[in-house]
Structure 1
Amino acid sequence: MLQNRFGKLAATALAGSMLMGAAACGGGEETSSAQPSGAGTSAPAASGAKVGLAYDIGGRGDQSFNDSAAAGLDKAKAELSLADTKELEAGSGETEAAKEERLRLLASGGYSPIIAVGFAYSGPVKKVAAEFPDVKFAIVDDAAATAPNITNLLFAEHEGSFLVGAAAALKSKKNHVGFVGGVQVPLINKFEAGFIAGAKAVKPDIKIDVKYLTQPPDFGGFNDPAKGKTAAEGMLDAGADVIYHAAGGSGGGVFEAAKAAKGLAIGVDSDQAKTAAPDLQGVIMTSMVKKVDIAVYDFLKGVAGNTVKSGPAVYNLKAGGVDYSTTGGQVDDIKTKLEEYKQQIISGKITVPEKTS
């Protein structure tokens, strides 16, 4: 969805030019494991593959969602015999036609597999995959784009968010926490639902403020630190002392506000106590880690071994696809309790809601 989507925003290029791109995070229904299901794809397998990766808004360097995907690609470069890689970025507010052309450019250039980072690629991936049936595609955070040559890399964001919600409630001294979502879409609602459930599991009467920065089709909420800061300042001024963001690059503004108010923040997607700006890392007590890097690497390894399959590959808490981070030691005193909640989710004793209503 979802960490700081800092970094550069590339301008949308015209069809046929070297488009740079990606959209915003996406989502879908979960199953119980991280194993792809469905029929195998038809493209030739992969030793020496040319890999294309189309980023979400912000691209490599966002310190979050995109950087996690980039880390998976980097690991594949180091460990698999990839012939070539091409990474393209997106600009804010671009059309589906631009996304299609970006994917088409990669496919026509001989890149296979191609990985699209984010649910906004759903329609474009489905369309271009039909045009290039011998090219393998993967899409992160979307279950809607289906075809014999598409693998859907999905995550149980609500389960990881439950754990950081519990952490927020355990750490809050004011019984008041907040959630900042980048864009009000079903995927980000999963983060909110899990966070609320986790906080209320600890303190049923806790006050929880919720603010979304933009509404679709405006996905700028994933890369607007100023809006993130303003939203967090409002919550902190109203009495919240811990704020969780699922807002990509906008999260940097949340961290700035928390630091200024001497509050605490919770990162998302990556371990942001490692990736955020150095002067802000200390305010991040934990992050909901979403292991896009593992999903990307697993997919590329499957292509290399000719074992990749189409359909959903779901990375949930049991599969290690989501978790909470412990960098900085700020949750060491509550880790035993968080681990208890984790095991209850894995065992099925706790079922975490995926929607707030």
Structure 2
Amino acid sequence: MKKWLRTLTMTAAVAVTLAACGAGEEAPATDEEAAPGGGAVEATDFTVGMVTDVGGIDDKSFNQSSWEGLSLFGSEFGLEEGTDYRYLQSGDMAEFEPNLRTLVREDVDLVWGIGFLMEDAIRTIAQQVEDAQLAIVDSVVADEDGVPLANVANITFKEHEGSFLVGVAAGLQTTGNKVGFIGGVEGSLIKKFENGFKAGVKAVNPDAEVIVQYAESFNNPDRGSQIANTMYSQGADIIYHAAGDTGNGLFTEAINRARNGENVWAIGVDRDQHEEGVFGDDGQSVTLTSMVKRVDRAVYLVSERTMNGDFPGGEVLEFGLDDEAVGIAPSQDNMSEEALQAVQDYQAQIQGGDISVPQTDEEYEEYLSSL
């Protein structure tokens, strides 16, 4: 049976590492969390580099989370930033391949491509330089037969599961029965965010309307503000984004309206975006919650595994609720007790197999028919 027909699951090594992370023993993600080993170890000669997506290293979302994971990995294992671990920033998609190629030519042991938009560039280099060790987030790099390339580690997430949970929160806390979703570039990945969110909303509030619009960019905050302005003007009071730096425009618009006395909320993505919604002197935030996607955790663990001589080339590693790799952000002060309880209940149902969260438009329609 070809590899692409097999169930795509985490390898045992990663699964065991994640499963061992419980309360008080959470795997590393940011500088605010504990890391395995409890401190830096002796430096090695391992080198690792990452190429950012177009949102930039400080996008307060996807790229930033990835870099936080790599930075923590480097510091914990005694690596020197700028020499042993570093990043190259991409201003646009045309810079993906040159940036990746630069790191490969420098014989960096593990080269990360952050984002599904880098799939073609990763494939080109992987096929040309067979001894390179490459990793990509949010995509599977395969050959013409659909078989994952042997020198690429493919990191994926069950974003639809986490999006379902923030959808539950939105469905219960909307006062006008109208919420919104802003996507970056439309495609199968962001559709997982969209359909999971819509399913969560409908699970608890079948009468709610979900407005959906794509910005067709992950790097245009002004466009994000424009879309948010339109949605709020149409009566949406809660908007969830999966749009990288474009989504930062959502917070700008929500803050402006909140300062004018409007009761509107934003839902963040990838990392806890509570701070992005803060306005005024009292620390109040327009961020209702965020769907945390632990790219930082995945980057750390796969980098460590590769350093230890177990590069997962040709494998597809999928991280979800069971791995504490997606879910609701720890900042929950703006969520109602009803919403918090419902999130817990629905998470248990998803993990127990009672709910299959839709990823595609077709699956979403099937899901609606089952309600």
Q: TM-score range by the shorter chain?
A: 0.7 to 0.9
TM-score, normalised to structure 2, is 0.79
**Which residue pairs with 1:256 in the alignment?**
252
Distance 1:108 1:184 in 2: 33
Structure 1 unaligned regions, length at least 5 = 1-28, 38-45, 215-220
Could you tell me which amino acid in structure 2 is paired with residue 237 of structure 1? Answer: S
How far, CA to CA, are the matches of 2:249 and 2:236 in structure 1?
16
Q: Show the counterpart of 2:183.
A: 181
CA distances 1:76-114 after superposition (whole Å, capped 9, x unpaired): 11112436123101113x33xx42222111111121100
* CA positional deviation for 1:47: 3.8
Alignment correspondent of 1:315: 319
Q: Structure 1 residue 35: deviation in Å? A: 5.1
Structure 1 residues 205-354: aligned runs within 5 Å: 205-214=207-216, 221-259=217-255, 260=257, 261-274=262-275, 276=276, 278-279=278-279, 282-310=285-313, 311-333=315-337, 334-354=339-359
Structure 1 counterpart SS, 2:361: coil
Tell me if the contact between 2:122 and 2:141 (Cα under 8 Å) persists in the aligned partners: no
Contact 1:34 1:316 in 2 (8 A): no
Contact 2:137–2:155 (8 Å) recurs in 1:
yes
Alpha-carbon distance between aligned partners in 1 of 2:225 and 2:236, rounded to the nearest angstrom: 14
Relative distance call for 1:178 and 1:269 in structure 2 (3 A) is same
Which amino acid is 2:228 matched to? A
Change (3 A) 1:269 1:212: same
SS of aligned partner of 2:310: coil
How big is the shift at 1:262? 2.9
1:36 CA displacement: 7.5
TM-score under structure 1 length normalisation: 0.82
Partners of 2:245 and 2:360 in 1: how far apart?
23
- 1:58-82 Cα offsets, whole Å, 9 max, x none, are 2211111001000111111111243
CA contact (8 A) 1:33 1:316 kept: no
Q: Structure 1 pair 165/277, CA: closer, same or farther in 2 (3 Å)? A: closer
For 1:229 and 1:134, the matched residues in 2 are separated by 44
Flag structure 2 segments of 5+ consecutive residues without an equivalent: 1-5, 15-42, 143-147, 363-371
Matching residue within 105, 112, 116 for 1:115: 112
* Contact 2:141/2:152 (<8 A) preserved: no
- The 1:269–1:205 alpha-carbon spacing in structure 2 relative to 1, beyond 3 Å, is same
Mapped partners of 1:258, 1:85: distance in 2 = 37
In structure 2, distance between residues paired with 1:164 and 1:254 = 16
Partner Cα separation in structure 2 for residue 227 and residue 127 of structure 1:
32
- SS of structure 2 residue aligned to 1:282: coil
Residue matched to 2:29: none
1:277 deviation in Å? 6.2
Aligned residue for 1:43? none
How far does residue 253 in structure 1 lie from its aligned partner after superposition? Answer: 1.4
